[in-house]
Structure formats: C-alpha cells, structure tokens
Amino acid sequence: MRSPKDKPFQAHTSSPIIALDSVSHSYPETDKVHPVLHNASLQIMPGEKLALLGRSGSGKTTLLNLIAGIDSPDSGKITVAGQQSEGLSDTERTLLRRHHIGFIYQFFNLVPSLSAIENVALTLELNGVGSAEALAKSRALLQRLGISGKEHRLPSRLSGGEQQRVAIARALIHSPSIVLADEPTGNLDARTGEAVLSVLHEVLSESHSCLLLVTHSLAVAKTVDRILTMEDGIISEQHGEFAW
C-alpha cells in the first residue's frame, strides 16, 4: 500500500523538483574530516537538463548520492519530488528512488547474477509491472541503445560500453521524473557516445524528465540547458561562452 509520502510528484512549473538549501557534506578521516560540499544551494525545475563539470575528486558523485538519498548531508536541506529527505525512513527513501529517480552509476552497479534484460526489467517489476510487459519494454529500449542480440548475457560477458548502455536502459525504463547520470558516455567511443546521448535525450523528452548529467566533456555539456561547475566544495553556474 502507498503511504501519503509515496504519492506521485505533481509537477508545478513554479516548484523545483530538486532543491538543495545550504547543503554541506564531509567524509570522516582518521584525524580530521574531509569537506566535499560547502553550503551548496541549487534548484532544478521539472524537465530541466543540467550538466555538472568538475575535476576528479571535486564531489560530483557525492552530490548525486546526496540527491538520490544514498548519503545524507551533514547540514542543510534536500527536497526531491516534493519530499524533504531528512524526515524519510530508509524504506521511504528507497521508494522515492524507485518511483522518481533513474540513477546511471559511474561504475554501472549492475546485478551480476541477472542478465542484461533482467537488470533493466527489474526496475519495472519493482514498480509493479508484470514480467512479460517489463521484459518486452526492456527489450525495446535495449534495442534502441544498440544491445540487440546480447540481452540475455550476464554483465560479466558484456564489454564496459555495453554494460554502460544496460545501466542507462535500467535508469530510463520506468520514465522517472529525475535522471541522475554519472558520466553516462564515459566508456563509449565518440560515435557510440553521440548515438547513446541522443537516445538519452529522446527518452528524457518523451517522459519530460529532468537530467543532472556529470561529464568531463564540454561537447556533452553543451547538449543541455544549464552548465554547473564544482570547485572547492562550491557549485557555480556558468553563463555565456565557457571554456573547460
């Protein structure tokens, strides 16, 4: 049964689907703490597409993990799809993620014992879709991403770029309102990367999802509406001509 906190997000053009208010986060080390985010504030509206650039170790994955509720901030407020993450139980966080978020992990995180198609279908099945329909939809999306003929292989029998495309399909299959993409074309050659990026944008437009895309590529960043950079724990928005 759905709890009141588990209701679908009603998109109002005036309310952000993701809001961070003065969020700070650090990791404990043996004799000190290692600060990663410092008073970060950010608002993303439904359907908006943003890129996030920043040096290795600047905190991009940490930011996505905080938004997804995989990690909790030391201070500040994070609101996702109308729900403030601080007050949520672990189960409520899981349901929020399952219903509203598609996360393309930097290192894929595919379930090793499930085939490519089962990895994708699992997201739908956890959301209550019957197995036959889930498999048919998953097959079609994998086909769009160029994985036809290999959908019954285990992840260990796919190349890094193929695993990445399965991870993309898994994140998009349930038409989430939020897609968090951590270097989603990082393991692909330029031509495959372009093709996959265009499928990603097509699917996002079909489902009116917002996108927060981590990338090291300015060309990839230029395919979105807004570009953010992270440096020394601070998130800044870039305007006009921008070199990286």
| C-alpha separations of 155 from 104, 151, 201, 223 in Å | 15, 10, 24, 29
- Gap between the Cα atoms of 180 and 233, Å rounded: 19
Question: Which of Mg ion, ligand ATP, none lies near 59, with the C-beta cut-off 5 to 8 A by kind?
Answer: ligand ATP
61 binds Mg ion (CB under 5 A): yes
Least spacing, CB of residue 13 vs ligand ATP, in Å: 31
Residue 104 burial (10 A CB sphere; 0-12, 13-18, 19+): buried
Question: Which of ligand ATP, Mg ion, none lies near 135, with the C-beta cut-off 5 to 8 A by kind?
Answer: none
Least spacing, CB of residue 187 vs ligand ATP, in Å: 13
Least spacing, CB of residue 70 vs Mg ion, in Å: 13
Residue 237 near residue 227 (C-beta atoms within 8 A) = yes
Residue in the shown chain whose Cβ atom is closest to Mg ion: 61
Least spacing, CB of residue 63 vs ligand ATP, in Å: 7
Phi, psi of 137 (to 5 degrees): -65, -40
Residue 78 near residue 14 (C-beta atoms within 8 A) = no
> Which listed range, 55-63, 153-161, 162-170, 173-181, lies at the site for ligand ATP (CB under 6 A)?
55-63
CB closer to ligand ATP, 66 vs 141: 66
CB closer to ligand ATP, 27 vs 242: 27
Number of residues that bind Mg ion (CB under 5 A): 2
Q: Which of 19, 58, 138, 165 binds ligand ATP (CB under 6 A)?
A: 58
Tokens encoding 243: 């070199």
Helix (H/G/I), strand (E/B), else coil: 82? coil
Closest-CA residue to 136 (of 163, 161, 173, 100):
173
> Which listed range, 41-49, 59-67, 115-123, 200-208, lies at the site for ligand ATP (CB under 6 A)?
59-67
> Which listed range, 10-18, 25-33, 55-63, 73-81, lies at the site for Mg ion (CB under 5 A)?
55-63
| C-alpha separations of 59 from 15, 79, 222 in Å | 26, 19, 21
CB closer to ligand ATP, 12 vs 34: 34
C-alpha torsion angle, residues 181, 184, 186, 189 (rounded to 10) = -160
- Gap between the Cα atoms of 49 and 57, Å rounded: 23
Binding site for Mg ion (CB under 5 A): 61, 106
Which residues of this chain interact with ligand ATP, rule CB under 6 A?
27, 34, 36, 54, 56-62, 106
